[in-house]
């Protein structure tokens, strides 16, 4: 990261800066998606870019996720670097074949003659009453797909740096943006910089227990750590940042230090990121553990429309605090 002025920006503004910076630096970068042009996207991430770059590089598309990703993959094969927006992550199922059987396998199938250097930006996560079709955490759908990169920032600074790095990466990248983070603010450097992919961040140093989390759950874990600090419990929080391939080294180093670990994920527990991390920690750190690995995750149910029921389904600070207290006893 180069030295530059640091300003306060929202998560949305940081993403917008990343797109603007990337398009300004590289004419092969273009964007496509539903209502990303004059409207500026459903969440305002692409606002102002259509005016600056025109409809050749900021392309409104029909309401067809399959067409969006199919176009992105084809143009990437011809040397472009498309950034596709899928308005809600729940509808990645509509273009799953293009992502899994085309983009993820492109480099392998053609022995490097072609590549799918695409970034798929999409809004995920619950907490706002969006119901079962607009609130899912979908990282588990793609965890076992070789060739895919999954990025999940938790802060505005990382949102910008990781998005620029993702656009410059030659692999297909699924870039997850948790809707509950869009309006949070943080310090963001001005101008061009990248945050390395596959490198976790130690969001908080601690010695008693490790919490490994992504996206919104990083903030829930930090809030839990602040509360438990008043009780003399020192919590280390690891922000994974890249989900696939994840930074196992940083996670395992922390667990060997603390001897206790919670993996916190908003997605359902079965077959997801929490299960994968727990297995790796169990295999690599068994003799360092003072307590069994604990998973804190969403319940195994569709996300309800009711905000009361949604709060019951999704994990938060309270579950992290309770889990750590039970582990420390």
Span between the terminal Cα atoms of the chain, in Å: 42
Q: Is 134 a catalytic residue?
A: yes
Asked whether the beta carbons of 201 and 186 are under 8 A apart, the reply is no
> With 60 as the cut, is the pLDDT of residue 323 above it?
yes
49-87 tens-digit pLDDT = 999 999 999 999 999 999 999 999 999 999 999 999 999
Exposed / middle / buried, residue 291 (Cβ in 10 Å: 0-12, 13-18, 19+): middle
- On average, the pLDDT of the chain sits at 96
What secondary structure letter does DSSP report for 189? E
pLDDT grade, residue 2 (50/70/90)? very low
- C-alpha 45/C-alpha 51 separation (Å) is 14
Mean predicted confidence (pLDDT) in 147-176: 98
Predicted confidence (pLDDT) at residue 249 exceeds the cutoff of 60: yes
pTM over 0.95: yes
DSSP 131: -
Q: What is the mean pLDDT of residues 188-200?
A: 97
Statement: residue 114 has pLDDT above 50: yes
Q: How many residues does the chain have?
A: 329
What's the CA gap between 117 and 168, in Å, rounded? Answer: 8
Task: Give per-residue pLDDT as tens, 19-55.
Answer: 999 999 999 999 999 999 999 999 999 999 999 999 9
**200 Cα distance to chain centroid:** 12
pLDDT at 329: 82
Average pLDDT over residues 163-169: 98
The Cα 288–Cα 134 span in angstroms is: 40
Q: Alpha-carbon distance 73 to 107, whole Å?
A: 12
Active-site choice (107, 134, 178, 219):
134
pLDDT of residue 200: 98
> Mean per-residue pLDDT for 165-179?
98
Q: What is the pLDDT of residues 209-242, one digit of tens each?
A: 999 999 999 999 999 999 999 999 999 999 999 9
The reported pLDDT for the residue numbered 1 is 44
d(CA 241, CA 264): 13
The per-residue pLDDT for 112 is 92
Domains of the chain: 9-189 (3.40.50.970), 201-328 (3.40.50.920)
Which pLDDT band holds residue 306 (cuts at 50, 70, 90)?
very high
């Amino acid at each position: 990261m180069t030295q530059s002025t640091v300003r306060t920006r929202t998560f949305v503004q940081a993403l917008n800066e990343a797109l603007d910076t990337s398009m300004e630096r590289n004419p092969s970068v273009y964007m496509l998606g539903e209502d990303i042009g004059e409207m500026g996207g459903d969440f305002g991430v692409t606002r102002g870019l259509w005016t600056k770059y025109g409809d050749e590089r900021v392309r409104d598309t029909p309401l067809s996720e399959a067409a969006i990703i199919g176009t992105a993959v084809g143009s990437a094969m011809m040397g472009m670097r498309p950034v596709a927006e899928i308005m809600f992550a729940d509808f990645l199922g509509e273009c799953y074949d293009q992502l899994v059987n085309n983009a993820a396998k492109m480099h392998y199938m053609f022995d490097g003659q072609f590549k799918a250097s695409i970034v798929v930006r999409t809004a995920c996560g619950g907490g706002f009453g969006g119901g079962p079709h607009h609130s899912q955490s979908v990282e588990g759908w793609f965890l076992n797909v070789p060739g895919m990169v999954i990025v999940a920032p938790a802060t505005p600074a990382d949102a910008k740096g990781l998005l620029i790095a993702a656009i410059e990466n030659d692999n297909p990248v699924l870039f997850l943006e948790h809707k509950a983070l869009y309006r949070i603010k943080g310090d963001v450097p001005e101008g061009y910089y990248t945050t390395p992919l596959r490198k976790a961040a130690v969001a908080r140093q601690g010695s008693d227990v490790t919490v490994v989390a992504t996206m919104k759950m990083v903030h829930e874990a930090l809030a839990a750590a602040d509360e438990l600090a008043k009780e003399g419990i020192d919590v280390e929080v690891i922000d994974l940042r890249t989900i696939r391939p994840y930074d196992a080294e940083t996670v395992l180093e922390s667990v060997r230090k603390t001897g206790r670990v919670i993996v916190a994920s908003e997605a359902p527990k079965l077959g997801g990121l929490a299960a994968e991390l727990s297995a790796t920690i169990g295999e690599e750190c068994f003799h360092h553990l003072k307590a069994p690995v604990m998973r804190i995750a969403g319940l195994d149910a569709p996300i309800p429309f009711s905000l009361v029921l949604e709060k019951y389904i999704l994990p938060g600070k309270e579950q992290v605090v309770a889990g750590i207290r039970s582990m420390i006893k």
